[in-house]
Amino acid sequence: MPLTARLKTWLGPRWTTRARCVLRGLPIPWWGNLRRTHPFSSYFGFERGTPVDRYYLAHFLDAHRADITGDVLEVQVGDITRRYGHQVRRSDTIDIEPQFHPTWCCDLATADTIIPDDHYDCFILPNTLSFLRDLDACLRQALRVVRPGGVVLGTTAVLGQMNGDGKDYWHLSAEGWQVVAERVWPGCNVTVRAYGNCLSATAAVMGLATEELTTAELDVMDPKFPVLVGICCRKPVA
């Protein structure tokens, strides 16, 4: 057996990797208390501060303030319409769960007999897309209820924690959401943007809060590590 093979056998896989990193000048991780199989928070970091994906949600909504106007529909409650909207004429809500007292209490996938066509200027689905079981039907309905020239604004978590209640279905990459958008919204002007990097993704998985990272760290955008994807679909006028 050659000398290197004998050395590897003697060292075992763990120390072989350590030796390889040292010899090649590759950095050695210092895990500290990150070496754990349970996160710091199992509730997205809410009890510590602001969940990391919420930082990127704010980023996305800030960029789309101009679109949140007129007659606005929002999933669950109208918080985002209140915070980011301007010249809002009507603020309505939709949810499948009656506990949120929505304007429209129904499954979005089958809202065609409930919400009229071309009824809103803006429909906001904040951190919702991964929870829509019948995804294509829901997204088609979302476009139907928006007026020509109006927008559907949706965001969804990608890397991070699953909801854990068995109702978290779709964690797609930005490219995956682009494919879905082309399928359900043909002929629309759609932009898909990914937010996050390997550090913020690690923090999101571990349940750490936005406040535990710096703005400079959060603002590095690396499409290989999307924490959140934001989608804007504008309905054609003609």
Ligand X SMILES: C[S@@+](CC[C@H](N)C(=O)[O-])C[C@H]1O[C@@H](n2cnc3c(N)ncnc32)[C@H](O)[C@@H]1O
Which residues are at the interface with ligand X (CB under 6 A)? Answer: 75-77, 94-97, 100, 107-109, 126-128, 131-132, 138
Nearest distance, CB of residue 182 and ligand X, angstroms: 21
DSSP-based three-state secondary structure for 32: helix
- The H or E element that residue 230 is part of is strand 228-234
Shortest distance (Å) from residue 132 CB to ligand X: 5
d(CA 79, CA 72): 11
Q: Give me the least distance between CB of 19 and ligand X, in Å please.
A: 47
Ramachandran assignment for 14, one of left (phi > 0), alpha (psi -120 to 50 degrees), beta (any other): alpha
Which is nearer to ligand X, 9 or 63 (by Cβ)? 63
Judged by beta carbon, residue 13 or residue 117, the one nearer ligand X is 117
CB of 58 to ligand X, least distance (A): 11
Distances (CA, A) of 154 to 36, 70, 107, 121, 228: 33, 18, 17, 14, 10
Nearer CB in complex with ligand X: 43/100: 100
The distance from CA 212 to its chain's CA centroid, rounded to whole angstroms, is 20
**Nearer to ligand X among residue 133 and residue 224 (C-beta):** 133
Whose Cβ is closer to ligand X: residue 128's or residue 197's? Answer: 128
Structure tokens at 103: 């304007």
Euclidean distance between CA atoms 164 and 162, whole angstroms: 5
